[in-house]
């Protein structure tokens, strides 16, 4: 069976005290055996959250080099030394606001694999691509350009996050989400095998909340969610977790 994952991407929110409080509140949630709960705090808070949390804690970002003169950056080895067990790669905010291109994302993927660290690879199309109805090709190309060079996908989880749905309150419909998730799975089958495609968890992200999570998670190819805004309050995040 594919792993189910509900991941909270805290982005650049919460100070240390707020993050500790939320972590403690989320420790009250007993995940079911087949479910992973992930928390992605800001890098400054990750060591504290990792120490306190009984769930999987990851970083939102890292630099692909091991060490060196990269002022302001954090390496994957540094993240691991604080208790980090997962990383996000290719979030649309990193791609759009920080100009992370396919070549750079590929290096991050390789760094995660070299360090045997599980990662969530994010993909998703902007509104104009969706309106032009080339969204499937666009997303499959993102995967081909920075993920499918790997020979082994066992550390990879994929998150489909249509950019027009992130932080906008506009969610993909159940049909739109299931269509893309099925296409992503088909692309994995074509580039690897049916067997591998059945094993990779594919999460939905983009204004997923306590009201729509149940319907989205009921789609056969949706294996959980990457949650931004609704992961910042214990109550709404707990309801999303309960929806899976």
Could you confirm whether 63 is annotated as catalytic?
no
Give the closest residue to 50 by CA, choosing from 12, 9, 80, 6. Answer: 80
Rounded Cα gap, residues 63 and 81, in angstroms: 15
> Of 86, 142, 207, 212, which lies in the binding site for ligand PGA, with binding defined by CB under 6 A?
207
Site for ligand PGA in 216-235 (CB under 6 A): 226-230
Rounded Cα gap, residues 101 and 49, in angstroms: 29
* Structure tokens belonging to residue 168: 């906008």
Least gap, CB of 229 to ligand PGA (angstroms):
4
* Structure tokens belonging to residue 190: 């074509």
Rounded Cα gap, residues 19 and 25, in angstroms: 10
Nearer to ligand PGA, 48 or 207 (CB): 207
125 forms part of the interface with ligand PGA (CB under 6 A): no
Could you confirm whether 91 is annotated as catalytic?
yes
Nearer to ligand PGA, 18 or 65 (CB): 18
Q: Which stretch binds ligand PGA (CB under 6 A): 29-37, 47-55, 146-154, 205-213?
A: 205-213
Q: Based on the number of CB atoms within 10 Å of its own CB, is 192 exposed (0-12), middle (13-18) or buried (19 or more)?
A: middle
42 forms part of the interface with ligand PGA (CB under 6 A): no
60 forms part of the interface with ligand PGA (CB under 6 A): no
213 forms part of the interface with ligand PGA (CB under 6 A): no
Nearer to ligand PGA, 45 or 230 (CB): 230
> Of 167, 218, 235, 242, which lies in the binding site for ligand PGA, with binding defined by CB under 6 A?
167
DSSP-assigned beta bridge partners for residue 35: 4
Give the three-state DSSP class for 5.
strand
Distance of CA 145 to the CA centre of its chain: 18
> Of 45, 87, 140, 166, which lies in the binding site for ligand PGA, with binding defined by CB under 6 A?
166
Give the three-state DSSP class for 77.
helix
Q: What is the CA radius of gyration of the chain?
A: 17
Distance of CA 155 to the CA centre of its chain: 13
Nearer to ligand PGA, 4 or 197 (CB): 4
210 forms part of the interface with ligand PGA (CB under 6 A): no
208 forms part of the interface with ligand PGA (CB under 6 A): yes
Give the closest residue to 67 by CA, choosing from 32, 101, 115. Answer: 115
Active-site residue (options: 63, 91, 135, 181)? 91
* Structure tokens belonging to residue 222: 């949706």
157 forms part of the interface with ligand PGA (CB under 6 A): no
Which residues participate in catalysis according to the annotation?
91, 161
Contacting residues toward ligand PGA, per CB under 6 A: 9, 161, 166-167, 205-208, 226-230
């Amino acid at each position: 069976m594919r792993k189910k994952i509900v991941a909270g991407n805290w982005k650049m929110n919460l100070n240390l005290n707020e993050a500790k409080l939320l972590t403690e509140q989320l420790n009250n949630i007993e995940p079911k055996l087949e479910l992973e709960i992930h928390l992605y705090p800001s890098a400054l808070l990750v060591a504290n959250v990792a120490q306190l949390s009984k769930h999987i804690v990851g970083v939102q970002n890292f630099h692909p080099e091991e060490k060196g003169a990269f002022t302001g950056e954090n390496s994957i080895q540094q993240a691991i030394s604080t208790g980090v067990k997962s990383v996000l790669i290719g979030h649309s905010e990193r791609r759009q606001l920080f100009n992370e291109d396919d070549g750079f994302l590929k290096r991050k993927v390789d760094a995660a694999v070299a360090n045997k660290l599980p990662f969530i690879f994010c993909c998703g199309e902007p509104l104009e691509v969706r309106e032009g109805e080339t969204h499937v090709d666009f997303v499959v190309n993102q995967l081909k350009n920075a993920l499918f060079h790997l020979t082994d996908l066992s550390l990879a989880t994929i998150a489909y996050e249509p950019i027009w749905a992130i932080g906008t309150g506009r969610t993909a419909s159940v049909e739109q989400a299931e269509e893309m998730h099925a296409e992503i799975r088909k692309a994995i089958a074509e580039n690897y095998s049916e067997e591998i495609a059945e094993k990779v968890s594919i999460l939905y992200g983009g204004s997923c909340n306590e009201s729509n999570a149940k319907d989205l998670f009921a789609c056969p190819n949706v294996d959980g969610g990457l949650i931004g805004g609704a992961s910042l309050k214990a109550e709404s995040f707990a309801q999303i977790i309960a929806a899976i």
